[in-house]
Structure 1
Amino acid sequence: MSSLPPLALYIHVPWCVRKCPYCDFNSHTLSQALPETAYIDALLADLDAELVDVQGRVLTSIFIGGGTPSLVSGAGYQRLLAGIRERMTLAPDIEITLEANPGTFERERFADFRRAGINRLSVGVQSFDNDALARLGRIHNADEAVKAITAAREVGFDEINIDLMHGLPEQTMATALADIDQALSLSPSHLSWYQLTLEPNTAFYSRPPTLPEEDVLADIQDAGQARLEGAGFQRYEISAWSRPGHEARHNLNYWCFGDYLGIGAGAHGKISRLLDKGLEIERRWKTRQPETYLARHGDPSGFVAGQRKLSRDERGLEFLMNALRLGDGVPRALWERHTGLDDARLDAHTRAAIARELMFETHSRIQATPLGLLFLNDLLALCDDSVLARS
């Protein structure tokens, strides 16, 4: 039987000090003073307009991403989080994550974030190699990254994610593993470790740097995985590693096809509704340009740039696109509960992938095989093709 999934909140802060050449996120170089007060006012008005769909539901996690959210002051986040608490019920053990850039690090600012109620930091390091950081256009150096993570621990953050990339321009096996070793020496609870890809509408896509050859990339992946596993980290998602019990709850909600409100310039959300005719799922997204977003403060409905209801086949494919990223998959019961679809439709989506041994055939879980995780895009294409062939 369908039921409403857990509910999270994503908050987007669209400004950064400088746009990185590999970044395809909705981020904009800050050319003047940060309009902190006006933006927080707009965020709360945006949230007010979203509340009609989530009355009585409890927030299980909050994630503040960007851009560079650590440009906002601790006092700003104290006001924002207080406003959220006035409007919604938060789970007693709610996870509240802030993305932080070492280039904006100040010890007292990190302490203010902790006092505001933020209890998890995701530090965008990317590399501890200064030459690599320069090629990536980062505004921090390796020493600043180490100091930021150390200070975060000292001011009370027990949950710290270090964001690392591999397959960087001119990277070797030795420098890739040195990044992992440096990260591990700082005792994070979580690591995001993923390969650099050249995304459209980025400077790197227009002027591609020289990246390692495919065989070097494969060797880095294998050696890095062995190094992380040897340090007690488990790979619970394609690019996410954690110590046992320290998985990112907010991201797990995404991958389990949970619901989330999205507020802020360019933020996306997904909301489920239980109607007489069954489960309805809608995606909506907010206007991207910060100036336009701020100008629409007086008209809460004006924050929404677009929205659409998912068809039955879209629900099934999107569920699988998320769930199959998890190493252990998800309980099969989540399929009907979070999509409103029956087992016959699940079988239609997965039949071809199971035949190619990219998915396990099981009555209890929906899960990719190790080969399926290695070739996830091929697996998802088969899940989509099986629906097309059936229809």
Structure 2
Amino acid sequence: MPHLSPPPLSLYVHLPWCVRKCPYCDFNSHEGRGPLPFDAYVDALIRDLDHDLPLVWGRTVHSVFFGGGTPSLFPPEAIDRFLQEASARLRFVPGCEVTLETNPGTAEHGRFELYREAGINRLSFGIQSFDDGSLRRLGRIHDSREAEAAVKLAQDAGLDNLNLDLMYALPEQTLAMAERDLERAFALRPAHISHYQLTLEPNTVFAARPPSGIPDEDHSWEMQEHCQALLADAGYAQYEVSAYARDGRRCAHNLNYWHYGDYLGIGAGAHGKITLPAVDDVPSARIFDAHARSAGPAETLAASGDRVDSDAAQDPGGIILRRWKQKHPARYIADAGTDAAIGGDDPVTPERRAFEYMLNALRLVDGFRLGEFIARTGLAADDIRPQLETAVERGWLEQDGNRLRPTELGRRFTNDVIALFL
């Protein structure tokens, strides 16, 4: 079996509070009540980072992403303090992409300059729609005027690498309304647009009480095709299922996810994925033991409440570890920096890696290279050859040398293509 090679490393930082939880949101977000403990939370983030550092000694961070919740609730000085502490512990690549998710309803005059001075060089605005009726139905705290004003404030502050999140197939939305949303976005000339369909996720208000007027599948598909054409005409090239960018402005952080890269997950409810390659044929369980400073995978998992057979981590080619943190902010703050803050550890067995890799890589318009698949999963090309041949025969994938990419038909049936690798 080939050995794993460490892929690029990113840092994800979860800031869990928001003003009001949206009825479609299934992220780990909590409505802030009273003053928020910004200083205590940043202290916890630093302790959390210190605890996970042995997993990534000597590696370079290629991107940082502050997600939430509503990260723009945090003052610039809190973001600055965390980035200063993180860069003292980790090597950041020159020009490292550092993104802050931003709610237009929390933007304040003058703050964007301070975020930029703190090290933020990319903003992702949760616009969702420029139609005030749609925004009310989505439970957003901003209106279209505030959305446009916030984007212009960021541009005036010297931030030009901006993403706008837009949804389609919204309650009572027509094709003309979806088109107007894009036209207003184009007028702001962002570098990147994320354009995705509203979905009713489990354990959300919308899942329990679906809103009326959601377009059916045919109308949703019509919106998708029409909007994709508008985005292309406006100079936004699609590179992933819901991501469109001007030349040179693809999101480096999300690309690392889709290429099955590694990421440290810091913060309440944050998830991470770390590759620990074998060294001179040392069993991966011992590598995990050395990095995690514990007696071994089984004991570590038992301490976090998730016991797994340690044989699951005895892959001679290395180990891929998924780790997540406790979700509740108060408990996370109390336990950060100790094993008690770990919600769970899950070594990804070789049997699961092909599916996990394809779940990400087949979202990309450019697909993937077989060499990258081998390096990042520790599997051989022959392990997936039957599935690839089936996908090519059905017209879902096309092969160009070492690269395989979804066809137009394959992009329409992404779930079916991915299911081949289960």
**The TM-score by the shorter chain falls in which range?**
over 0.9
Asked if structure 2 preserves the Cα contact closer than 8 Å seen for 1:257 and 1:338, the reply is: yes
| 2:330 aligned partner | 291
Q: Which residue is 1:41 aligned to?
A: 43
CA distance in structure 1 between the partners assigned to 2:229 and 2:219 by the alignment: 15
Partner of 1:272: 275
5 Å-filtered alignment, 1:177-326, equals 177-210=179-212, 211-275=214-278, 276=281, 277-297=316-336, 299-326=337-364
For residues 158 and 215 of structure 1, the distance between their equivalents in structure 2, rounded to whole angstroms, comes to 36
8 Å Cα contact 2:55/2:274 also seen in 1: yes
* Match for residue 119 of structure 1 among 121, 124, 137: 121
Query: 1:323·1:366 contact (CA, 8 Å) conserved in 2?
Result: no
The AA in structure 2 aligned to 1:289 is: H
- Structure 2 residue corresponding to 1:131, chosen from 115, 133, 137: 133
Contact between 2:370 and 2:381, CA under 8 Å: does it hold in 1? no
Aligned position for 1:161: 163
Q: Report how far residue 204 of structure 1 moved.
A: 0.4
Inter-partner Cα distance in structure 1 for 2:379 and 2:160: 40
Is 1:29 the equivalent of 2:31?
A: yes
**Alpha-carbon offset, residue 223 of structure 1:** 0.9
Change in CA separation of 1:254 and 1:179 when aligned onto 2, cut-off 3 Å: same
Taking structure 1 as the reference length, the TM-score comes to 0.96
C-alpha displacement of 1:291 = 1.1
**Contact 1:332/1:363, CA 8 A, preserved across alignment:** no
3-state SS of paired residue (2:406): coil
What letter is aligned with 1:333? G
In 2: Cα distance, 1:349 partner to 1:304 partner: 36
> One-letter code of the match for 1:237?
E
Query: What is the number of equivalent residue pairs in this alignment?
Result: 383
Aligned-partner residue type, residue 259 of structure 1: D
* CA-based RMSD: 1.1
Q: 1:82 aligns with which of 72, 84, 101?
A: 84
Aligned partners of 1:166, 1:242: CA distance in 2, in Å? 18
The answer on whether the counterparts of 2:354 and 2:421 sit within 8 Å (CA) in structure 1 is no
Q: Any idea what SS the aligned residue of 1:367 has? A: strand
Distance in 1 of aligned mates of 2:31 and 2:335: 21
Could you say which residue in structure 2 is the equivalent of 1:152? 154
Check whether the contact 1:161–1:192 (CA below 8 A) recurs between aligned residues: yes
Aligned to 1:375: 413
Tell me which moved more, 130-139 or 302-311. 302-311
**Aligned partners of 1:367, 1:312: CA distance in 2, in Å?**
23
Equivalent AA in structure 2 for residue 282 of structure 1: L
Cα contact 1:10–1:260 (8 A) shared by 2: yes
Checking the alignment, whether the CA contact within 8 Å between 1:353 and 1:383 is kept in structure 2 is no
Which AA in structure 2 matches 1:113? Answer: Y
Q: Is the 8 A contact 1:271 1:283 kept in 2?
A: yes
Counterpart residue identity of residue 207, structure 1: R
SS in 1 for 2:397: coil
Q: Deviation per CA, 1:211-234, whole angstroms, max 9, x where unpaired? A: 012221111111101111001110
Whether the 8 Å CA contact 1:329–1:366 is kept in 2: the answer is: yes
Could you report, residue by residue, the CA deviation over 1:160-203 in whole angstroms, capped at 9, with x for unpaired residues? 00000000000001110000000010000000000000001000
**Maintained 8 Å contact 1:324/1:366:** no
Q: CA deviation at 1:362?
A: 4.1
The residue matched to 1:271 in structure 2 has which SS?
A: strand
Paired residue secondary structure (1:107): coil
Mapping of residues 53-72 of structure 1, within 5 Å: 53-72=55-74
Which secondary structure state, in structure 2, belongs to the residue aligned with residue 99 of structure 1? Answer: strand
Q: Which string of whole-angstrom CA distances, capped at 9 and with x for unpartnered residues, describes residues 79-102 of structure 1?
A: 000000111110011000000000
Percent identity of the aligned residues? 48
* Structure 2, unaligned runs of 5 or more: 282-315
Query: Could you say which residue in structure 1 is the equivalent of 2:142?
Result: 140
Q: How big is the shift at 1:44?
A: 0.6
What amino acid does structure 2 have at the position aligned with 1:71? L
User: In 1, Cα distance between the equivalents of 2:118 and 2:19?
Assistant: 23
TM-score calculated relative to the size of structure 2: 0.89
What does 1:355-374 correspond to in 2, within 5 Å? 355-374=393-412
Whole-angstrom distance in 2 between the partners of 1:179 and 1:378: 31
Once the two structures are overlaid, the 10-residue window that deviates more, 341-350 or 184-193, is 341-350
